[in-house]
Structure 1
Amino acid sequence: MAYVKRDSTGKILQIFDSPQADANEFLSLNSSELIAFLGESAQSDSARTILSSSDAAMIRVLEDLIETLIDKGVILFTDLPAAAQQKLTQRQHVRSRLQALENLMDEEQDLF
């Protein structure tokens, strides 16, 4: 996700990973205008911001990919390095706890 701040002529001045008071226009990361701005820009911080904002989504994609490969028997969980096994297990545990909390909150809202 990229939110842009423009000048009076419509030229992109800055990029943010979340909406700002003066930058609430959303552009896709694949936007040709955004890609051109990054290509012309010496603002490496803007590029880092875009990459950082997509990191969480990419991590989730990789987790889903690993889970799919394991489910289909392409790889075994034990084939992964011990550190990767530990991180994946920890993230699955946290995600399941968050899901349980969200379900509990949804049930409580129905009570009122």
Structure 2
Amino acid sequence: MKMFYVQRGADGKVIGVSVSPQGGDEPPLPGGHPEVVDFLLRAGGDAAAVEALAATDVDLVRVVEDLIGLLAENGVIMFTDLPEGAQRKLLLRERLRARLGDINPMVDDDNAIL
């Protein structure tokens, strides 16, 4: 996910966003962070809205994967009821996340690199 460095005003509100550090001590925020999205929508119009929406896609994909897993685990749906293409994509992502976890111990429970 794209990360952004924010600049804050005296009131703590985000007044600037950049893809590189601008001298502040604050760690970068993910593109889907509410403060980043709010700033991009206020400052950038439609193009920023598109970018802000895209920044949330990775997080939403993980939510959908987890939801499908939970529904299958609880017997609400059968994994094999999903279209073959969806099954292949989900299995591939599961294997990739498992491999990333095996080679990178800095992966947390949500499989995000710390």
TM-score (norm 2): 0.61
1:21 maps to 21
Question: CA 1:36/1:82 → structure 2, altered by over 3 Å: closer, same or farther?
Answer: same
Dislocated runs of 4+, deviation >6 Å: 23-28
TM-score (norm 1): 0.62
CA distance in 1 between counterparts of 2:59 and 2:46 reads 21
Unmatched 5+ residue regions in structure 1?
A: 104-112
Instruction: Select the structure of larger CA radius of gyration.
Output: 1
Alignment pair present for 1:60 and 2:62: yes
Matched residues, percent identical?
A: 35
1:77 to 56, 76, 79: 79
The answer to whether the 8 Å contact 2:14/2:39 transfers is no
CA distance in 2 between counterparts of 1:44 and 1:81 reads 34
Alignment pair present for 1:87 and 2:89: yes
Question: CA 1:23/1:52 → structure 2, altered by over 3 Å: closer, same or farther?
Answer: farther
Give SS of 1:64's match. Answer: helix
The answer to whether the 8 Å contact 1:29/1:50 transfers is no
Between structures 1 and 2, the one with greater helix share: 1
Per-residue deviation at 1:21?
3.3
Per-residue deviation at 1:11?
8.2
The answer to whether the 8 Å contact 2:40/2:49 transfers is no
CA RMSD of aligned residues (A): 3.3
